[in-house]
Amino acid sequence: MSAGTVVTLGETMALVRATEIGSLRHAHGMALGIGGAETNVAIGLARLGVAVSWLGRVGDDSLGERVAREIRAEGVDVRAVVDADAATGLMVKERPSVASTAVHYYRARSAGSRVSASDLPDGWIEDAALLHVTGITPLLSTAAHAAVVAACDRARSAGVPVSFDINYRSALASADAARPVLREIAERADIVFGGEDEFAILYPGASAAEAAALLRDAGCATTVVKQGPAGATVFAGEAAVESPGFVIQAIDTVGAGDAFVAGYLSGLLEELDLAETLRRANACGAMACLVPGDWEAAPTRRELARFLTGDADPVRR
């Protein structure tokens, strides 16, 4: 695949995270940051040396400035459309117990949900190496849905590969309501990422392998099944390649799937073989779980190399 800029679009919100274990009813310390699936991927790619550009709407407020500043500081080309008529969305994350995380969203009618096809600059997609989108953005609003579909159609017309992470969020829509939206985009994509449960949303009753075959019939060349600690499987054409996961002591699993996608896409852009691409993706996903936050532990090339060579003491399954 040719070198160039990866482009992505979607909502990134301000993030308030409890700094201690327990219910928010009793939390005393909170940390402020940002988070959003598409920018988690963008930051992960940037840290791995890939040129990447993100577009989204933010409010004309301090939190919107925080979102744009943080992403730009990570080396991502930021195209933040400032919306004077809506506030920047907010998510709040708590750790009710050592083994659980709960995320609460305050994003109804947020600036990020108002992204539209008219926000997409001429040539931005057409000149890209790859477009990455998720199933979160098209479920935010009618305008956001239209923006993602328009972006995919423009990419396909220009011969730009489309990457799609299903990333289903039950807080945004029921599985039945989300299905036609998610399938519409998946069947426009060249690469589709998801967990086994997410592929079952696209095609009820189908296994991941059966969903991959259905997507292949629709024109999708590659299906990547994320299996968490167990690793991942990629279906490309008639081939299926598996790669084991890494044994780690997870601190925060939120954002692990996005780090996995960044690792996979970076390997794809470097034209690594499927086995090595999956190994990198699994390593990035595992490393993202080692530090609290949605993207903070996304590895650099040096950190990734240390992890993969055993300097970080990983244990392969």
Selecting among 60, 258, 273, 313, the annotated active-site residue is 258
Residue written as tokens 């600059």?
121
List beta partners, residue 54. 8, 78
- Tokens describing residue 182: 């998610």
264 backbone dihedrals φ, ψ, rounded to 5°: -65, -50
Cβ burial 27-66 (10 Å sphere, 16+ → b, else e): beeeeebbbbbbbbbbbbbbbbebbbbbbbbbbebebbeb
Identity at 108, one-letter amino acid code: A
Distances, alpha carbon 135 to alpha carbons 65, 73, 193, in Å: 25, 26, 10
User: Diameter of the chain by CA atoms?
Assistant: 54
Helix (H, G, I), strand (E, B) or coil at 113: helix
H/E stretch holding 256 reads helix 256-269
In 10 A of CB 19, how many CB atoms? Answer: 11
H or E element that contains 197: helix 196-202
Whether residue 252 lies in the annotated active site? no
CA 1 to chain centre: 20
What positions carry a catalytic annotation?
258
